[in-house]
Structure 1
Amino acid sequence: MLVQNWMKSDPETVTSDTLVSDAKRLLTEKNLRALPVVDDGRLRGLITRANCLRAAEFVSRGQDPHEFDFFANRLKVKDLMSRRPATVNANDTMEHCLRRGQDEDISQFPVVEEDKLIGLISASEIFGLAAHVLGAWDSWSGITLSPMVINKGTLGEIAGIIEN
């Protein structure tokens, strides 16, 4: 299964000059965990909800009105973003994303072609894939077998139960 078939192809983005307070608002309103940072069509970084919350927490601890003003009106995404986020290609497999995400503790992958953002794979898309593969929305019947000793004729009995 290829990334191109599962990616969010038109993700919300911000520019590097976007105020952090505006990025935080967008993350909250759209219930997102991260926003790709794009300038002139090129991926420059990734700003996460965690980046914004840590900065806001730091500023609020000091309770200095000048620091709060700086955070609200001057601090830009380029000051907090992850500059070289892990990326994937549209032709990569979803299994590759899953393994890499698990190995590197990554939940967001911008999808790029030659530094141009073409999509985003997040934990939501990976969970969607898992649900699809596991048939989470399909109605089905199943049986659960307890540990048992398989004797002569046991498989025949199981086949009979399934047939009925």
Structure 2
Amino acid sequence: MLIDSYSGDLTLALPDSRTNAEYTSLQYNWIRRAVLQSRAQRKVVILDCCFSGQAIGTMGGPEPLAFAGIEGTVLLTAAAWDRMALAPAGEPYTAFTGELIDILRHGVPDGPEVLDIDLIFREMRRRATAKARPVPQMQARGSMGLLPLAFNPQYRQELPR
């Protein structure tokens, strides 16, 4: 993420983005506007980049920029507002994306049949903390945290005795 040097707005860096050349990055407010204007009842935004928590804001941090007041939305970020995300050397994905893919692909041991966003987020936080990696953040409006996202491949239904 970058901060626009003129407006102070949050922008998302692209592969060829340059500081002090804001036209080379994507304004976060454009994403927010697209989500606001969407007719979808449920909206999920995932940001895997440094300082991505700025889109949420935290106590003691910047004011929330994201989806305050937008019902039916959830925002997952790779790091807190003042933390860098991590792209571990030799791994095919960033730490955040790698854990998300692993959870969706392999599931959660002893978890329910369906993984909702809250459970996936809690598992990502648990794993990040255990590995001393940047801790993901989440902002959910309404009951969006309960939104089913995937079946749990590790779900084992107990057979009647």
TM-score by structure 1 length? Answer: 0.28
Higher helix share: 1
**Structure of higher RCO (CA pairs closer than 8 Å, 6+ residues apart):** 1
TM-score by structure 2 length? Answer: 0.29
